[in-house]
């Protein structure tokens, strides 16, 4: 499995939101608003600005990569050995905005089954019963 050990993976979440891009942009780029839906932060809408997102469980190191008001926002997202990039894309549609988030990145050890199992094992079992209760 070594040749897939650094395979790029991504998560995409997309939603149609009944608000205009300008309003969503504010929520994505103003620190006091970011804090309300994501985490505490020292974000600035400036290319190359380094910022941290902090929560009770830890923090995420970020750097602004791309910023095009009301359209695109990209930043790095590094936490717990995961090196990734988060890209927000806002597209106006008749009733509001199509909002797309893609997180793409690597976790070098993710394909090593033993590492993965060790990493996921405890938390997985801690949460298993609750997850199943919700799934039913």
Residues of this chain that bind another protein (CB under 8 A): 9-11, 13, 15, 17, 19, 23-24, 26-27, 33, 36-38, 82, 99, 101, 103, 105, 107, 110-111, 113-117, 119-121, 124-125, 128-129, 131-132, 135
Which residues, listed in sequence order, are joined to residue 82 by a DSSP beta bridge? 79
Task: State the nearest-atom distance from the C-beta of 38 to another protein, in Å.
Answer: 6
Task: State the nearest-atom distance from the C-beta of 117 to another protein, in Å.
Answer: 4
**Beta carbon nearer to another protein, 66 or 121:** 121
Buried b / exposed e across 50-83, counting CB within 10 Å, b at 16+? ebebeeeeeebebebeebeebebbbbbbeeeeee
Question: Using an 8 Å Cβ cutoff, are 96 and 25 in contact?
Answer: no
Task: State the nearest-atom distance from the C-beta of 66 to another protein, in Å.
Answer: 19
Task: State the nearest-atom distance from the C-beta of 116 to another protein, in Å.
Answer: 3
Using alpha carbons, list the distances in angstroms from residue 90 to 22, 65, 108, 128: 9, 16, 30, 35
């Amino acid at each position: 499995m070594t040749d897939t050990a650094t395979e790029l993976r991504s998560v995409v979440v997309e939603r149609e939101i009944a608000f205009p891009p300008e309003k969503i942009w504010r929520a994505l780029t103003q620190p006091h608003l970011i804090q309300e839906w994501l985490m505490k932060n020292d974000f600035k809408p400036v290319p190359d600005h380094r910022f941290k997102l902090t929560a009770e469980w830890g923090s995420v190191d970020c750097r602004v990569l791309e910023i095009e008001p009301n359209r695109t926002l990209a930043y790095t997202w590094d936490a717990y050995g995961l090196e990734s990039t988060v890209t927000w894309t806002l597209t106006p549609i008749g009733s509001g905005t199509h909002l797309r988030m893609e997180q793409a990145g690597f976790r070098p050890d993710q394909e090593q089954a033993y590492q993965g199992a060790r990493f996921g094992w405890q938390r997985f079992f801690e949460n298993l019963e609750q997850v199943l209760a919700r799934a039913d």
